[in-house]
Amino acid sequence: MDTKNGTAGVLTKRILFVTNSESGQANTILAMGLEASTRPDVEVHIASFPGLKRRVEKLSPKVHFHSLDGKDFMEMAAGNGLHERDFPHRPRSGVFAVYKRALGVILAGYDEESYRQICDSIKGVIEELDPGVIVVDMLMTPGFDACYALNREFVMSTPNTLGDVAKQDQPWLKGYWHYPLMGTGISYPISWRDKPLNIIAGILLIWGVIRSPEVKRLVKYRKKQGLPGRLPMESAQTNAIHIICPSVRETDFPLVVPERVGLYGSIVLDTTPIEVCDPELDQWLNRGKTVLMCMGTHFHYSESQAKAVVLGFLSAVTHDSDIQFLWKLPNRSEFEDLFEEALKDPKDKDRFRIVDWLEVDPASIMKHPNVVAWIHHGGANSYFEGTLAGLPQIILAQWYDLYDMAVRAEYLGIGMYGNKKVAPEIEAGEFGEAVARLVWPGKGSEEFRARAKVVAGACRKAGGKSAAVDKLIEIVEGK
């Protein structure tokens, strides 16, 4: 058994997590790290960029943080001319430009010097700690190469769906034509009319990776270092001793599950109960049925989008209903005139609670019995929080894999792709119809709710972070 002496002389199982610092990538790692820190004789370390340090220290004093040298993922992307404002794109053929412009940056955007700096930093942490198991975030590609350089086994962790780690394992290369390609937003099962577009997307996706100057640069560097495979993410999906995935079969398309992939259901952080964190908000929720809306960290509303949300919601509720709307709107101050005009009626104004910040985590709010629907941008963490809560979802997709989540929700019957006609924009009529279908009897809401509860049960049964940590401890003890 590969263990180290703890501070009290007790044999300790040491786990090292290596992750990017952005919430979208780090949340599942943090959830597992916090869970592991509660286990007896387990020592937890997280290696990431300095931007994550404060959050880790706030979560638990038992988790040891190691700051890595070099630029984090968003700094790297910005250095390559890819900024948050560039993320939104049209679905379907609109994704083709993204494959050309952004795919190489996402997979291999670091220059050789920066990449080496991060690899060396991670290697230093591994050599210092000599952990029993190393868990590497799927997009933290220098982490895989650090493990290869030291001849260390590793576990891959993804915050995303099964389709993202099992694409290449599908028979007849189905991962590249049978299921909707990333960013296309094509409905599943794919109609004969859409098959040519999806096949073209698959070809352009592969071609975009092959021809990317960033990918070529990283491939050349890795060959010089004697590292396996063309790209670290590709080789890691084959060489990982285990892959931790927050999907279950009930949250994804019907895919073949490779033996090395573990399906654990939603892996989410524990949250402070709303009645403890924000008693006043808890009392407001007690007033009646509530729709919760919170788009992602990188989303900035335009005036037309904010107006569409307000008018769309009002079109979905009758004047005498008690349905209310809790909306996290970070740039709310830009739209005071809009709200003054659109919410003249005191009843309408009273049903809206629009805030630029929530003191309580959305996952805690979802547990309130009056919350009846969850609206978000389609990020993996938001999607899996919704599936665990058993809430019907409306996804207003904006870019890349967010479109994939919207299509999944509709296929599985747990939600709606709420801006399918106009994405990445939002249109009041389409959005309002989606809200009405989820909250009003006779519009199919019972079916959505029932299906969401079934999916939530499957997520809980899979075990989430607790089962994932059990597996990591099993790996350590088996060495």
Domain count, the chain: 2
One-character DSSP codes across 286-355: TTS-EEEEE--TT----HHHHHHHHHHHHHHS-TT---EEEEE-TTGGGGHHHHHHHT-SHHHHHHEEEE
Is a pLDDT exceeding 50 seen at residue 98?
Answer: yes
pLDDT band at 11 (very low <50, low <70, confident <90, very high): low
Q: What is the mean pLDDT of the chain?
A: 93
pTM for the full model?
Answer: 0.94
Residue 35 CA to residue 395 CA, distance in Å, equals: 29
Residue at 465: amino acid letter: K
CATH number for the domain spanning 356: value is: 3.40.50.2000
Judge whether 87 lies within some domain.
Answer: no
Judge whether 80 lies within some domain.
Answer: no
302 with 255, same domain?
no
174 with 31, same domain?
yes
249 with 290, same domain?
no
445 with 356, same domain?
yes
Residue 198 CA to residue 200 CA, distance in Å, equals: 5
Judge whether 403 lies within some domain.
Answer: yes
252 with 335, same domain?
no
pLDDT per residue as tens digits for the range 461-473: 999 999 999 999 9
Residues 44/36, Cβ–Cβ less than 8 Å: yes
Judge whether 229 lies within some domain.
Answer: yes
287 with 415, same domain?
yes
Residues 187/410, Cβ–Cβ less than 8 Å: yes
53 with 135, same domain?
yes
Nearest residue to 387 (alpha-carbon basis) of 250, 188, 257: 250
Judge whether 77 lies within some domain.
Answer: no
Judge whether 63 lies within some domain.
Answer: yes
If one counts every other C-beta atom within 10 angstroms of the C-beta of residue 47, the result is 26
Is a pLDDT exceeding 60 seen at residue 10?
Answer: no
Range of the domain at 259: 4-72+110-198+213-265+463-477
pLDDT of 9 reads: 41
Residues 466/32, Cβ–Cβ less than 8 Å: no
Judge whether 50 lies within some domain.
Answer: yes
Nearest residue to 27 (alpha-carbon basis) of 282, 383, 365: 383
pLDDT per residue as tens digits for the range 152-207: 999 999 999 999 999 989 999 999 999 999 999 999 999 999 999 999 999 999 99
Instruction: Measure CA of the first residue to CA of the last residue in the chain; give whole Å.
Output: 5
If one counts every other C-beta atom within 10 angstroms of the C-beta of residue 302, the result is 14
pLDDT per residue as tens digits for the range 314-353: 999 887 688 999 999 999 999 999 999 999 999 999 999 9
221 with 160, same domain?
yes
365 with 473, same domain?
no
pLDDT per residue as tens digits for the range 347-379: 999 999 999 999 899 999 999 999 999 999 999
450 with 468, same domain?
no
51 with 172, same domain?
yes
Judge whether 21 lies within some domain.
Answer: yes
Is a pLDDT exceeding 50 seen at residue 258?
Answer: yes
439 with 315, same domain?
yes
